[in-house]
Structure 1
Amino acid sequence: MENKNIKLSILSDTHILARDLMADNKEFNMAIKYDRKFLVEGEGLLRSALKLASENESKYIIIPGDLTKDGEKKSHLEVSKILKEWTYEDKSRKIFLIPGNHDINNKSAFDYKNLKNTQYIKPKEFFEIYDFLYKDSVLEYYKDSQIYKTYLGEINKKYEREFENSYYAQGYGSYLARINPNLDEKNSLTLIFIDTSIYSCDYEQNHKDGKNNVVGACDKNILKWAIEKIDQAKKRADMVFVISHHAFIPNFRDQRLVLGPFIIKNWNEKFKDKDPRINNKLPIEVLADCGVKFLFTGHLHENGTAKYKSILENEIFNIQTGSTVTYPLPIRHINIYDDLKDFSGFSIDMKTQLIKKFEYENLNGENIKIDNSIAYALKNQLSLKDVLFNYVHSMAKNPIISQMDIKKFLIERLNTNLNLDLSNKGYVKEILKEFSFKFPIYIEKFGNVNLIDADGEIFIKLDSYKSHALIKAGNLEACIEILIRQFEDKIMTTDNMIYYYDKLVKKALSMPISTDKHNLYDFSNYIYQYKALDEKTTPSYVVEFFSKIKQSRLLNN
């Protein structure tokens, strides 16, 4: 490895909104209130993050997506200008980046000054705007590979697409880079960027082009291409980093249930393919078994590390980096050393640094200096209660929930869990036939329950001491569908969902966790604020609850 070590920094989710799109009005102030981001301060925070990278003597910076608030073209141009300034200070500097879910085909792009939608960018424009970063750093684009071209052809045949959208599909922005672009020299760092953001019809939730989704995805064709690049890197004795916007595995237990959109949606789906390196493996498993040790991601706005071990005992770490516009304002520094005699590997030093001070221009045009970013963030950014409130509202308004087809959902679950193949109509009859061997049965409140097959019609016969009844399967199905419609129309309204979500969250967080009457919210808020966990400063109720958690794990094990 050249110079025996590489210094690089990772900063993520900068979410810049161009100054020209801001205004001190009700609409923008509401946007700030309900968004867990420092939008006005964003440019100043980005410049401070770049300064910290310089002080670390980092020659290389990785940004795993979400450069802009909502993909505004003006915001992308602003980010491009700031990054260009940093690279021009030292010609040996390089920045590697990839789009996030906010950056492309985002119709939420808004001009708060003129209160109207503003221009957003298409996939091709992303590479045009950041061309000064890509042109000297990229060794190969996934979109130029035969694997991608074959896949794109299949997608264009499968879906009716406008010609203007026919050049891109899932993974369009993926590429290969290397710290030392001279492939004849060994022992460098290979970077494989996997574009997990969804903005094309093949993975978009309604199979529409020109739209973006919060959740990400990793198509198997990208991994086929990536495997080739990993194999080539191994032959060069390179270390390999894989970078994507979305995480490949949950960062904590049951994340998929509460923060599912912050990981790739196919994270737990095994691929089917002729290639044994991919077949019957999870996306993260493919990388692990190829020898990749580190996957760097963003998106969640939280620093975190999750470890995965494959069936073949290969380990990989999914390392998430928090946002420069969200408390506690972290960036990461990584030093990679090739200091082992007769090269046999690399040693890595990784640390997190918080942005401790910055300057920004407020909405009145005044220059503001912040000397204690942590205190400023705790005072001015959303509290945990605000975050939970916003989460509850976003969940209730999520089309996946608010527009859920309950009948379809139930049939899918029954088919999956009971290994059935139920029809959309006549499913009650099909279920009763499938489980007819379990009848007759006795139910205390109904007496003897049996099935009768009369000329193809299925009836449920109830015989008790006081009453007798015959229920036609078709009538029972009609009754079920009336109840489902009433549930969808009267229960699953946005207002009701917010009410019940809020009630449930409040009840859960009010649960006492310690002898001194602290509750789960107190504990969660303490952890949310990233305060140090050491014996001298950690409150007794936090220590006590951690002890209970550990005891619970021991009992479960």
Structure 2
Amino acid sequence: MNISKKILKLILFLFILIFSGCSGSSAKLNRASKIPSGKEITFFVATDIHYLSKSLTDDGEAFQKYISSGDGKQLDYIDEIMSAFANDIKKKPDILIISGDLTNNGERKNHLELAEKLKNIEKSGISVFVIPGNHDILNPWGRSFKGSNQYKEDYINDKDFSKIYGAFGYNEALSRDMNSLSYLADPSKDIWLLMLDTCKYENNEILGFPQPDGELKPGTLEWIKNVQA
């Protein structure tokens, strides 16, 4: 994920706060929220985890060459880093938001394994909400590393993403955008989270790489207007 996209996602997260205390929307349903009204809420925000399963690498020649020519990702320790992160945040925030690039390059195995780790975080009482980054969906760069070779790995589409991470925002959404993986959630009765998918992953396979820029589609902008009306 490039710098401009990170800035855009930060702006969108700040936009979430505008929805604090909103009322009267047609999207507001009669449903129980996890966090009671009036409670002070703590947010943690993480981004660009780029999780890589240990099953996709043997730490051999191909993998060492890959990480040495990369952009500084600590992929050789990412499993330990993720475990330490999950242990460190337990019982601290009420809400954890992961704002894109959950996996190294969208490999299915990485998504499935990370989702299991997020389930363990939620078991500690933290509500987790995710949104994809440009590396997470339809990414032709998905790879595993064995010996001196790289091998293509299965990657996922947008429907797979919402299914794998259904427990982390999608299944409990008040409203979902039909044009993207954006959604509206209400972790408490006082706060709404507008989680916006700005990725252009539809072009990744044609381009041969994860497209770095993002946008809000016209249909998504109309959906935003409707859920806050």
Q: TM-score range by the shorter chain?
A: 0.7 to 0.9
Report Cα offsets for 1:276-302 as digits up to 9, x if no partner: xxxxxxxxxxxxxxxxxxxxxxxxxxx
Q: How far off is 1:98 after superposition?
A: 0.5
Assess, with a 3 A threshold, how the Cα gap between structure 1 residues 112 and 213 changes in structure 2: closer, same or farther. Answer: same
Instruction: Say whether 1:50 aligns with 2:86.
Output: yes
- 1:177 counterpart (182, 185, 198): 185
Asked if the contact 2:90–2:124 (Cα under 8 Å) also holds between the matched residues in 1, the reply is no
Match of 2:133 among 92, 100, 107: 100
Q: 1:8 offset after TM fit, Å?
A: 1.6
Aligned to 1:340: none
Q: How does 1:437-516 map to 2 (within 5 A)?
A: none
Taking the TM superposition and a 5 Å limit, the aligned residue runs for 1:1-400 are 2-35=37-70, 36-54=72-90, 57-90=92-125, 93-113=126-146, 115-134=150-169, 136-143=171-178, 148=179, 172-180=180-188, 188-200=190-202, 204=203, 208=206, 212-231=210-229
Q: State the alpha-carbon separation in 2 of the partners of residues 122 and 211 from structure 1.
A: 15
Does the CA contact (< 8 Å) of 1:73 and 1:120 recur in 2? yes
Question: 2:99–2:130: 8 Å Cα contact kept in structure 1?
Answer: yes
Change (3 A) 1:135 1:174: closer
In the alignment, the residues of structure 2 paired with residue 117 and residue 2 of structure 1 have an alpha-carbon distance, to the nearest angstrom, of 48
Which one has more relative contact order, counting CA pairs under 8 Å at least 6 apart? 2
For the Cα contact (< 8 Å) 2:162–2:170, is it kept in 1?
no
Q: Distance in 2 between matches of 1:219 and 1:73?
A: 26
CA displacement at 1:211 relative to structure 2? 6.5
Instruction: State the SS of the aligned residue for 2:195.
Output: strand
More strand as a share of residues: 1
Contact 2:175 2:183 in 1 (8 A): yes
Offset at 1:86? 1.1
Q: Which amino acid aligns with 2:152?
A: N
Q: Which deviates the most, 17-26 or 69-78?
A: 17-26
Residue aligned with 2:117, SS: helix
Contact (CA 8 Å) 1:16, 1:42: kept in 2 or not? yes
Q: Amino acid of the residue matched to residue 97 of structure 1?
A: V
Distance in structure 1 (CA, Å) of the matches to 2:51 and 2:176: 26
Report the CA distance shift for 1:221/1:44 in structure 2 as closer, same or farther (over 3 A): same
Distance 1:205 1:112, change over 3 A: closer
CA distance 1:107–1:176, shift in 2 (3 Å): same
Q: Distance in 1 between matches of 2:133 and 2:49?
A: 10
Q: Which stretches in structure 1 are left out of the alignment for 5+ residues?
A: 149-171, 232-557
Identity across matched positions, percent: 29
Give the C-alpha shift of residue 43 in structure 1. Answer: 1.9
Larger-Rg structure: 1
For residues 183 and 122 of structure 2, what CA distance do their matches in structure 1 show? 20
Q: Secondary structure at the match of 1:80?
A: helix
SS in 1 for 2:42: strand
In the other structure, the counterpart of 2:33 is: none
Sort the Cα spacing of 1:205 and 1:74 in 2 relative to 1 into closer, same or farther, 3 A. Answer: closer
CA distance in 1, matches of 2:150, 2:208: 22
Moved more, 60-69 or 219-228: 219-228
Structure 1 counterpart of 2:111, which letter? H
Deviation per CA, 1:172-206, whole angstroms, max 9, x where unpaired? 111111122xxxx5xx1111111111122xxx389
Corresponding residue of 2:6: none
For the structure 1 residues 29 and 49, does the alpha-carbon distance in structure 2 shift closer, same or farther, using more than 3 Å as the test?
Answer: same
Q: Is the 8 A contact 1:109 1:117 kept in 2?
A: yes
Shift, 1:123, TM fit: 1.1
The answer (yes or no) to whether the contact 1:105–1:211 under 8 Å persists in 2 is: no
Aligned partner of 2:184: which letter? L
Task: Count matched residues.
Answer: 191
Cα deviation, residue 65, structure 1: 0.6
1-structure distance, mates of 2:219, 2:210: 20
Query: Secondary structure, in 3 states, of the residue corresponding to 2:119?
Result: helix
Report the CA distance shift for 1:179/1:222 in structure 2 as closer, same or farther (over 3 A).
Answer: same
1:324 is matched with none
Deviations 1:390-427 (A, max 9, x none): xxxxxxxxxxxxxxxxxxxxxxxxxxxxxxxxxxxxxx
Aligned-pair CA distance for 1:135: 5.2
In the superposition, the TM-score normalised over structure 2's length comes to 0.76
Q: Give the Cα separation in 1 of the matches to 2:158 and 2:98.
A: 17
* 1:12-44 CA-partner distances (Å, limit 9, x unpaired): 111011111112222110111122100021122
The one-letter amino acid paired with 1:212 is P
Q: Distance in 2 between matches of 1:192 and 1:80?
A: 21
Q: 1:34 to 1:210 in 2, by over 3 A?
A: closer
- Structure 2 residue identity aligned to 1:112: F
Task: State the 1:88 CA deviation.
Answer: 1.9
Deviation at 1:117, TM superposition (A): 0.5
Distance 1:205 1:8, change over 3 A: closer
5+ long unaligned stretches in structure 2:
1-35
Letter in 2 for 1:228: N
